[in-house]
Amino acid sequence: MKREGKKVVRKSWIFLTLLFLLAITVSCSKDESTSSDDNNQEQGVSGTIEITIGKAGNLDSDLPNGDTVEDNEYTRFLEEELNVDYTLAYQGSSQDIEQKNSLAIASGDIPDVMVVDKTQLTQLVEADLIEDMTDAFNNAVSDDLRSAFEDTGDYGLEQATYDERLMAIPNINPGADGINLLWVREDWLDQLNLEKPETIEDIIEVAKAFKEQDPDQNGNDDTVGLPGSQDIVNIGNSLFGFDTIFSYFNAYPEMWIKDENGDVVYGSIQPETKEALGKLRDMYEEGVFESEFGVKKPEDSEELVVSGKTGIIFYPWWAPFSVLRSQLEQDPKAEWTALSAPKNTQGTMNTHMTAPSSSYLVVKKGFEKPEVIVETLNYQFDIDQVQGDGYGFYEDVEDMGFNWANMPFSLLLSRYDDKEVKAAQVRDVIEGNASADDLMGEPKKVYEDYLINQENPKKDLSAWARANAFLSGADVINKTDVNKIQGVFYGQTETMEKRWANLQTMEDEVFLQIILGSEPLDYFDEFVSKWKSQGGDTITKEVSQIVNGE
């Protein structure tokens, strides 16, 4: 009996010892859990990081199943991947987001993330409202996104740097968007037995023939020459602009360039610009241009295209996605092609290039984990590069294409050579130099649409548009006869903030007056004097100092 009692006592002691050790373990675990919960209180439930956003986007979302730009398959995927919660502080269309951002900046109460222009970025830096992103960017940026910035010469990163600190993450624009191509109706050329125009004189001949020789064969005098716009130059997206006529003369209005002596100069006040204006003036007098272009906005000239009143326009590579598709809906017989024209005596078309970056993502000062913002951008860049291919976004929804604007941050991250590189990839497959199996994302879709359009031309206008935008439009930019001119400065200086709007208005008015003949060509010289005296010289000095690192 005693022996059995000792066994019971021994077992009881062991049991109590185990309970004691277990209690200590639970207590320690509870203390650690409590500490972790305290640390996560500001991040939300289970460590979720809350991110409020000021977002540009379409207020009337066409997303299916009740989804919105705030809550959709893109945002839900990223929320799960990064353990975050994206919430809109406010949203505005592209027309009113600048005002909403300005109101937030003025109040000092900004969301965690917003995308601003250069002027607003400077205001935020001076007001000490935004986070220094230097370390977050260096620690979290992916190799692929880093290389995309390097391909621009780090232009945007330099623009976002103040006192050697990176204060914002810049966007990356596709450079092709700033290049104006000459789109011509081949069926009209054939009807009038004309060759594709190459030189500026060829363009004049074709435009006048399209106006005067009834190319649509309807027996009516109802066609016009080259449509234009009151915005005769735009180094961003130039719609119906005369940019390449200027660059034919080595003139680059609205651009900061270096002259033959290496000095920084403003293109709009150079002698070459006066020469180009003289040619445009002559072309207007000859009836080459649609007569009322000086009072028309781009959308007004679009109607001339859609209604079949013109067959020759200056427009970017993506014309088939917009105005040309609308025209084909009215007249499927139309055959449009893109050309690099006008070519100069060396056989090349000069063109300005748009700024690699024009908008900047900022993060509110004090945000706990800015690295997660950079990680979101890594994902957005990767998703955009393959146009969502392989991610399964809305794959069960018919005709639901990729739209980068449905991602959390309204910051476009492309590659500067994105469109022409993708066009070249598809061209290699078509010509048998590569396998279609290697295509993915946007090039894969372009190739598929090319095959669809080859099988049934223009039956599927979405397929026609994508195939022609890339293989007729962007593909032209790959050719060796396109000479791309990069500006040395696209930003804003201190004096620009006060004087630039007035100088720009004066420039626009004078150029139109000269072209339309209400002022003589030599009025250009008076404009240059006024421009220089009304702040232009000071601005030129400021830009030169920035470019030369003085």
Per-residue pLDDT of the chain (550 residues; tens, 9 = 90+): 333 333 333 333 333 343 344 344 434 443 443 333 333 334 554 689 999 999 998 766 678 988 999 999 999 999 999 999 999 999 998 778 999 999 999 999 999 999 999 889 999 999 999 999 999 999 999 999 999 999 999 999 999 999 999 999 999 999 999 999 999 999 999 999 999 999 999 999 999 999 999 999 999 999 999 999 999 999 988 999 999 999 999 999 999 999 999 999 999 999 999 999 999 999 999 999 999 999 999 999 999 999 999 999 999 999 999 999 999 999 999 999 999 999 999 999 999 999 999 999 999 999 999 999 999 999 999 999 999 989 999 988 987 888 999 999 999 999 999 999 999 999 999 999 999 999 998 999 999 999 999 999 999 999 999 999 999 999 999 888 999 999 999 888 999 989 999 999 999 999 999 999 999 999 999 999 999 999 999 999 999 998 887 7
d(CA 305, CA 311): 7
CA 279, 281, 286, 291 dihedral sign is positive
d(CA 176, CA 550): 32
Predicted local confidence at residue 37, as pLDDT: 38
**Topology of domain 180-354+483-547, CATH:** D-Maltodextrin-Binding Protein; domain 2 (3.40.190)
d(CA 265, CA 541): 9
Domain limits, the chain: 45-172+358-406, 180-354+483-547
Are the C-beta atoms of 480 and 519 separated by less than 8 Å?
no
Strand, coil or helix: what is 213? Answer: coil
d(CA 436, CA 448): 9
Strand, coil or helix: what is 238? Answer: coil
- Among candidate residues 364, 380, 358, 368, the one with its CA nearest the CA of residue 141: 380
The alpha helices in 307-441, defined as continuous H runs, are 323-330, 371-385, 418-430
Q: Which amino acid is at 407?
A: M
Q: Do 180-354+483-547 and 45-172+358-406 have the same topology in CATH?
A: yes
Predicted local confidence at residue 24, as pLDDT: 40
d(CA 494, CA 539): 8
Predicted local confidence at residue 61, as pLDDT: 66
Q: What CATH number should be reported for the domain whose range is 45-172+358-406?
A: 3.40.190.10
3-state helix, strand, coil in the chain (%, to 5): 50, 10, 40
d(CA 449, CA 460): 9
Predicted local confidence at residue 46, as pLDDT: 60
Element (H, E) at 162: strand 161-162
